[in-house]
Amino acid sequence: MASSPPSSAPFSSSEEATTSSNDGSAVQSLKYSRRASLRSVVGRPDGGRGLAGKRAVVGGWVKSSNTVKAKLAGPVSPARMPTTETTTGLTCTEVLMARVPLIRCFARLIGGAADVDRASSVSFKLATGTALMRINDGSCVADLQIVVDSSLCPLKQVTAIGACVLVEGKIELVEGRSQQHVVELRVDKVLHVGTVDIDKYPPSNVELPPPELVKDYPQLATRTTAMASVARVRSEMLHAAHAFFQTNGFFHVNTPIITATTVAGDRSKMFRVMRLESKSDNRAITPEVVRASIKAKTKQIEALNRSESNKEALEAAKLDLQRANELARQLEQQGNADFSDDFFQHPVYLSPDHTLHLETYACALSSVYTFSPVFQAESLERHKHLAERWTIDAELAFAELEDAISCAEDCLMWLLSTVSKNCSDELKFLSNGENNGYFSHIEPAVSSPWERITYNAAVNTLLQVREKSFKAKVELGTPLSHEHMSYLVDDHYKKPVIIYEYPKELKPFYARLMEDGTKVSAFDIVVPKVGTIAYGTQKEERMDNFTARIDELRLPRDHLESYLDIRRHGTVKHSGFSIDIERLIFLVTCLSDIRDVKPFQRTKSNAKC
């Protein structure tokens, strides 16, 4: 069995193959890629010092470069720097250094120019016609400095920012020519060059602010050190989550994405799923589509009226408009349409929430969790809402609210501390090099147990606030606004706060009714900067209360029969919670916009590629 035992340290058992090298002493390549990972070279604690003298095959994309031109004599001053790349880097740095953290990250990525200067200012020590480049393969924050001689390949190709190179050479110590690098690779073989159209390459465009880069070129965004760091943080977060649940005896299940069961109050925020017609992919007609076509037809008629040339065309257009209006009228009448010919033969949606399906698993396997996407069509406050989010949902049988709260708190603490330990380079980079940048977010969250207060206590605390006035009125029975919550976590308690015991009107119908008959067993976990990062409920397991609440809210009973069944037969106390992964990453990465937590975001009018 060739595959590596998961228990072994990363890479250890996967470093069997060695680089195609005539030298016995070579850095081991990855098992499934013909090169050594940069993480195994410059990502080492010693920065690669221990590998000096060894040969290696490495690959990556060029982050910055500097060429020593033959005509140059003596130290190269930044002003006289010949390569556009470095200049680009400098300008970009100046332009962007003042901006939000993410932008500063991009700046330091495209630039890092300062370092190239230091390198270049002494680079006359290098043979002329030599290129000094920094490459990165996305496996770690640190770049590897490589030295390529013009005799090996046309330097203009390999030195362009964004070019991809696969090279072989010898690792050597950098004798004080750079404060950033311990070692560099002296290339003696260029195995592959993926050229770049430098003028068209978005990341090298100074005029393009990084947020637009992410929005307009998601396919290239992960090539930036900032977005690559965010991606690695996400990956580490997910691995830590699976480890947490596996260690605590949870089973990983997959709840359905397409579902007919909806308990969402506002269906206008759900996505409908339909099968496409074979002839055309634009056949499913909504009232919006018809209205749009009416708009178009009216414009056309106006145009024809202005140019009084073509009477027939005008008549035809008018008739066409009549028809379109008739179509719109018909659509109004199709309220109770028959879906028996659609693929699923009834209306189906994209799941906005995995709670109910997860319950059925918990009432059979006891402790379960899922990591799945949820969907919500939220038009307001685009910067806060993603139409497609991934959440971790856990459900425990034989468990009450306090159990779910403890589990959620432990899980979040575990995720935060694991990531801050294993992704310190990424977090430092994203917080612009200041250790405190990310600790200011994470430290209060992992240093001590979190505050637990009831909803009533939270409201009373807010009612006593004198030093400031809130936009939204503080009142018992009304939801807490983002402003209210941020006061509690940022100003009052200065740590994450767990708010529990809510009025039943503020929580889903399935939350368990408490003895007083007005409150339910539910909780929210609120953290600085982000707001609510997790929420949970103890489910109503008592058949009578459950049905009573369904009738009270006039919910479609037929959708809920399956959830009545698990209460009708062998019901059990069960509780669970949901963690919003994108918000968690947003919290630790110091990003300024949650839409930057991954390249292919789905928000209002944005699902292009």
Binders in 489-528 for a copy of itself, by CB under 8 A: none
Q: Which of residues 148-167 bind a copy of itself (CB under 8 A)?
A: 162-164, 166
CA distances from 461 to 234, 255, 452, 484 (A): 35, 39, 13, 10
Whole-angstrom distance, CA of residue 264 vs CA of residue 350: 11
Name, in order, each residue with C-beta under 8 angstroms of 49's C-beta and a sequence gap of 6 or more: 173, 182, 183
Q: Cβ 55 to a copy of itself, closest distance in Å?
A: 17
Residue found by looking up tokens 């996505």 in the block: 271
Q: Cβ 447 to a copy of itself, closest distance in Å?
A: 9
Nearer residue to a copy of itself within complex by CB, 75 or 287: 287
How many Cβ atoms from other residues are within 10 Å of residue 371's Cβ? 18
Q: Indicate which single residue of 117, 137, 353, 393 sits in contact with a copy of itself (rule: CB under 8 A).
A: 137
Q: Cβ 329 to a copy of itself, closest distance in Å?
A: 8
Q: Which of residues 390-409 bind a copy of itself (CB under 8 A)?
A: 390, 396-400, 403-404, 406-407, 409
Residue found by looking up tokens 């228990």 in the block: 7
Q: Cβ 551 to a copy of itself, closest distance in Å?
A: 20
Q: Cβ 445 to a copy of itself, closest distance in Å?
A: 11
Q: Indicate which single residue of 261, 391, 431, 486 sits in contact with a copy of itself (rule: CB under 8 A).
A: 261
Whole-angstrom distance, CA of residue 459 vs CA of residue 476: 6
Q: Which of residues 308-327 bind a copy of itself (CB under 8 A)?
A: 323-324, 326-327
Whole-angstrom distance, CA of residue 87 vs CA of residue 487: 45
Nearer residue to a copy of itself within complex by CB, 212 or 561: 561
200 binds a copy of itself (CB under 8 A): yes
Q: Which of residues 63-92 bind a copy of itself (CB under 8 A)?
A: none
Mask of contacts with a copy of itself, 461-490, x by CB under 8 A? ------------------------------
Whole-angstrom distance, CA of residue 510 vs CA of residue 508: 5
Exposure b/e, 416-440, CB count within 10 A at least 16 = b? bebbbebbeebbbbbbbeeeebbbe
DSSP assigned state of 22: S
Pairing of strands 183-194, 144-149: parallel
Q: Cβ 607 to a copy of itself, closest distance in Å?
A: 4
Whole-angstrom distance, CA of residue 274 vs CA of residue 334: 16
DSSP assigned state of 329: H
State the amino acid at position 333 in one-letter form.
Answer: Q
Q: Indicate which single residue of 214, 413, 526, 534 sits in contact with a copy of itself (rule: CB under 8 A).
A: 413
Tell me which residue of 64, 315, 215 sits closest to 595, measured CA to CA. 215
554 binds a copy of itself (CB under 8 A): no
Q: Which residues pair with 252 in a beta bridge?
A: 369
196 binds a copy of itself (CB under 8 A): yes
Q: Which of residues 13-32 bind a copy of itself (CB under 8 A)?
A: 13-14, 30-32
35 binds a copy of itself (CB under 8 A): yes
CA distances from 16 to 12, 32, 35, 171 (A): 8, 10, 12, 20
Mask of contacts with a copy of itself, 414-443, x by CB under 8 A? x--x--------------------------
Whole-angstrom distance, CA of residue 527 vs CA of residue 440: 12
SS3 551: helix
Q: Cβ 224 to a copy of itself, closest distance in Å?
A: 8
218 binds a copy of itself (CB under 8 A): yes
Sign of the torsion angle spanned by Cα atoms 266, 271, 275, 281: positive
Nearer residue to a copy of itself within complex by CB, 459 or 525: 525
Segment contacting a copy of itself by CB under 8 A, of 125-133, 148-156, 197-205, 527-535: 197-205
212 binds a copy of itself (CB under 8 A): no
Q: Which of residues 561-580 bind a copy of itself (CB under 8 A)?
A: 561-563, 565-566, 568-573
Nearer residue to a copy of itself within complex by CB, 283 or 494: 283
59 binds a copy of itself (CB under 8 A): yes
334 binds a copy of itself (CB under 8 A): yes
Nearer residue to a copy of itself within complex by CB, 449 or 477: 449
335 binds a copy of itself (CB under 8 A): yes
**DSSP secondary structure letters along 418-433:** HHHHHTHHHHHHHTTT
Assess contact for 150 and 129: CB atoms under 8 A: yes
Exposure b/e, 203-224, CB count within 10 A at least 16 = b? bbbbeebbbebbbebbebbbbb
Q: Which of residues 38-57 bind a copy of itself (CB under 8 A)?
A: 39
Assess contact for 541 and 528: CB atoms under 8 A: no
Helices in 140-209 by DSSP H: which ranges?
155-159
583 binds a copy of itself (CB under 8 A): no
Nearer residue to a copy of itself within complex by CB, 398 or 470: 398
Segment contacting a copy of itself by CB under 8 A, of 47-55, 85-93, 104-112, 554-562: 554-562
278 binds a copy of itself (CB under 8 A): yes
Nearer residue to a copy of itself within complex by CB, 361 or 500: 361
Q: Cβ 89 to a copy of itself, closest distance in Å?
A: 17
Both structure tokens of 465: 């606030």
Mask of contacts with a copy of itself, 344-383, x by CB under 8 A? xxxxxxx------x--xx-xxxxx----xx-x-x-x----
Nearer residue to a copy of itself within complex by CB, 38 or 474: 38
Name, in order, each residue with C-beta under 8 angstroms of 231's C-beta and a sequence gap of 6 or more: 138, 222, 598
Segment contacting a copy of itself by CB under 8 A, of 7-15, 113-121, 455-463, 493-501: 7-15
How many Cβ atoms from other residues are within 10 Å of residue 487's Cβ? 21
Segment contacting a copy of itself by CB under 8 A, of 11-19, 89-97, 459-467, 484-492: 11-19
